Structure 1
Amino acid sequence: MEISGKIKLIGETQTFGASGFRKRELVVTTSEQYPQMLMIEFVQDKCDILNSYKVGQDVKVSINLRGREWINPEGVAKYFNSIQGWRIEMLQPEGGAGSSLPPLEEIQAADLSSDEPDDLPF
């Protein structure tokens, strides 16, 4: 799955326990009618891929949804979900330097200079 949006926050890398488990959090704000602020976790070696990104950049994040069950001391099952990122890439602004389409003016000029007959029935 993928999430696209603007980076709102990039957390510091946190290390837990004797095993040295590492986690880093990223918050992305989606660009929908009702924007969502989604916290995405990057773990272990994936923490370092956030080093080259900054708050305010538009990105696309590849994610996996994770879920787990926890039985509390009273024996009641509780369920937790998390979003785990594994890849992130910069989005090019629309019509920006990365656009593979020519400017609209070039398309319209090419269309007007066509020598082909108009064989449309309407």
Structure 2
Amino acid sequence: MALSVKGKVEQILKPESGVSRAGKEWKKQEFVIETDEQYPRKVCFTLFGEKVDLINGLNSGEEIEVSFNLESREYNGRWFHNINAWKIDKVTADEGMPVPPPEFGMDDIPPEPADDAAGDLPF
């Protein structure tokens, strides 16, 4: 299930890393955005592995759109949830605004038909 949400970067947390029981290195970084809905919500997303690089260059207050997956797992009778981000796009101020048509110029007017062509009309 892939979802997306827009909001402002509220906080970028410190990267974390370690080694799994299987001996593999891992890294993750979390960040929080505040949605721009009528009732704003704060959402904490997690980036894993190479996806951590997606947060590079982002600053608090920037407007972004985050694509993410939801995942839940059970441990000792309790359920834990992850909101895993897999794509981050910066939202520009003019995004969503229609592109204005090009300006009308005198060169856009077709030329007048020649006098001899006026008699060729079928009506």
TM-score interval for Structure 1 and Structure 2 normalised by the shorter chain? 0.7 to 0.9
- TM-score w.r.t. the length of structure 2 is 0.72
Deviates more, 1:9-18 or 1:34-43: 9-18
**Residues 31-80 of structure 1 deviation map (CA, whole Å, 9 limit, x = unaligned):** 11111000000000000111121111000000000100112xxxxx1111
Instruction: Tell me the percent identity.
Output: 28
Aligned to 2:14: 12
Preserved CA contact (<8 Å) 1:40 1:83: yes
- TM-score w.r.t. the length of structure 1 is 0.72
Once the two structures are TM-superposed, the CA of residue 100 in structure 1 deviates from its matched residue by 4.8
Which amino acid counterpart does residue 18 of structure 2 have in structure 1? F
Which amino acid counterpart does residue 54 of structure 1 have in structure 2? N
Aligned to 1:88: 88
**Residues 69-100 of structure 1 deviation map (CA, whole Å, 9 limit, x = unaligned):** 112xxxxx11111100001000111x47x855
CA radius of gyration, larger in? 2
Equivalent residues, number: 99
Give RMSD over aligned pairs: 2.4
Determine the C-alpha separation between the residues in 2 that align with 1:45 and 1:13. Answer: 12
Preserved CA contact (<8 Å) 1:7 1:59: yes
**Map of 1:1-122 to 2, 5 A cutoff?**
1-17=3-19, 18-71=23-76, 77-93=77-93, 95=94, 99-102=97-100
Determine the C-alpha separation between the residues in 1 that align with 2:82 and 2:63. Answer: 22
